[in-house]
Chains A and B, each alone.
Chain A
């Protein structure tokens, strides 16, 4: 039976094919669109590997991972990624010191204490935080936060890794929204069992809800970490671009991401070892965030399946 304005009364006899051919074409086109996502990942990995080969021909992987200096432009060049990693890890740690407790507590409050009106008015604010362009956060870190911190520590240099605090504020909504989802998913009857025994909200939250929501909260933490590691503009603007191996947050340092920005803004020609360093750095970044992202996905599907 074709759709060509025919008699809608009784059809005559069976049709011996299933599904019109047009439907197959549509399904195939949609499949191609879905496969494009795999294409993107292959593209990323492909480009990073391909462009890094020039670099890894000159520098061994062992040197890359263990050398403690990153000085590609010196005549005696060193290509150790540790200083950049130290910068990334320190800023991330500073960010987490702020974001993990605040994010979790905000999630707990919204999930267990807040009335619906409070929740409905605060959540849009937090969502807004995730929409603010990171370059604006960078501006904020350099021109507002650092001067404020210099009131406390007058010797604080203008560029420092306490910019991580701003990254922390940036990722609070990531942590709080995923955690809150996980806590909210804990069924009411489990909470009621606790209340019926005379527990306060806090006791129920900490002893009953938190343990049940643990994999969701872990997913939130992991995703927040991944976001902080990949952050570029805040550190490029406010943390400095000097790759030095230091774990002191009050000093300036370059992260992996800021380094890539610095070289992109510079004049090195494509194909030179100095330029190709950005691909090696990007590869490292991709591998690290990949591990965190997959871990976050696994944890999140686990808590979805629980209920």
Chain B
């Protein structure tokens, strides 16, 4: 693969993953470019969500998880998958937004600052400042500025998801992982979040898993197509969608299966 990216944020080398005896990912190798959106597409069961969760060591929560291979994070070149690396460390540098919005049943403000509080930041002025910044970056500030201490669960689905994005942003992560972030939302909320991502990528590297090909085409710079646990093709997004190298990729993006 001869993809030149502006600069590299992460390199995934030969990543294989299994739950007990079942192998879900087979030798995946691909680069993640800094401050770009990299999308993962593929039919259900192809392993894209499993791949995403390797990046922040979420699989550590399952006793049968087995990682193989390396995920090198730049610029310090540490291997995320090294057992000596604390997964908590990893999650403090790489945030995640989930498929179904999952705000805590607390106030909007408490949601946004939770990540900061567990990093030991207690100063109220700092928390306030970071919360406002995060909510602005998530395009939610105007809608909630008058009810910061109201319940997060009173927000609409789209607003809750933007709150989850703000929550992840508040801690200044280097990368944010999005796991099908709009599949539970209506089209209006979806487009708001897609717009948001185009702004966000100037600050933070984004990796997004989506089952919606058109969304990948709209928001991402690079796209990876996966099938049955293997990486089939990785390239600039326009190349994948207009002139893919692999026949399988072509059949998927033209809708012949999926």
Chain A residues near B (Cβ < 8 Å)? 1-6, 8-19
Contact = CB atoms under 8 A, between A and B. Distances in A.
Contacts of A16: 84
Interface of B: 76, 78, 82-89, 92-93, 116, 118-123, 171-172, 174
A1 B121 contact: no
A6 B116 CA distance: 11
13 contacts: A3-B118, A4-B120, A5-B122, A6-B119, A6-B120, A8-B116, A8-B119, A8-B121, A11-B89, A14-B85, A15-B85, A15-B86, A15-B89
B96 to A, nearest CB: 17
B78 A8 contact: no
B86 A10 contact: no
A93 B126 CA distance: 70
Contacts of B121: 5, 8
A12 B171 contact: no
A14 B86 contact: yes
B89 A3 contact: no
B86 A18 contact: yes
A14 B84 contact: yes
Contacts of B82: 14
A16 B82 CA distance: 10
A4 B93 CA distance: 18
B78 A14 contact: yes
Contact of B92 (A2, A4, A5, A11): A11
B92 to A, nearest CB: 6
Interface SS, A side: loop
Contact of A14 (B89, B119, B122, B174): B89
Contacts of A17: 86
Nearest to A4: B120
Contacts of A1: 88-89, 92, 119
A15 B89 CA distance: 8
Interface SS, B side: loop
Contact of B120 (A2, A10, A11, A14): A2
A2 B76 CA distance: 20
Contacts of B89: 1, 11, 14-15
B84 A5 contact: no
A42 B172 CA distance: 53
Contacts of A15: 85-86, 89
B175 to A, nearest CB: 11
Contacts of A13: 76, 78
Contact of B174 (A2, A4, A10, A19): A10
Contacts of A19: 86
Contact of B171 (A4, A6, A8): A8
A3 B86 contact: no
Contacts of A2: 120
A4 to B, nearest CB: 6
Contacts of B116: 8
A9 B92 CA distance: 9
Pairs A-B, 8 closest by C-beta atoms: A3-B120, A14-B85, A15-B86, A5-B120, A8-B119, A14-B78, A16-B84, A4-B120
A58 to B, nearest CB: 54
B77 to A, nearest CB: 10
B237 to A, nearest CB: 28
Contacts of A5: 120-123
Given A1-B88, A9-B172, A14-B85, 10 more contacts: A1-B89, A1-B119, A5-B120, A5-B123, A10-B174, A14-B84, A14-B86, A15-B89, A17-B86, A18-B86
A11 B82 CA distance: 16
B172 A8 contact: yes
Contacts of A4: 120
Contacts of B84: 14, 16
A125 B157 CA distance: 39
A248 to B, nearest CB: 59
Nearest to B173: A10
B99 to A, nearest CB: 26
B131 to A, nearest CB: 13
Contact of A11 (B83, B93, B123): B93
A28 to B, nearest CB: 19
A118 B121 CA distance: 52
A1 B120 CA distance: 10
B29 to A, nearest CB: 22
Contacts of B83: 18
A11 B172 CA distance: 11
Q: Which of B83, B86, B89, B174 has the largest count of A CB atoms less than 10 A from its CB?
A: B86
A79 to B, nearest CB: 54
Contacts of B88: 1
A105 B221 CA distance: 65
Nearest to B60: A18
Contacts of B120: 2-6, 8
B9 to A, nearest CB: 12
Nearest to B76: A13
A1 to B, nearest CB: 6
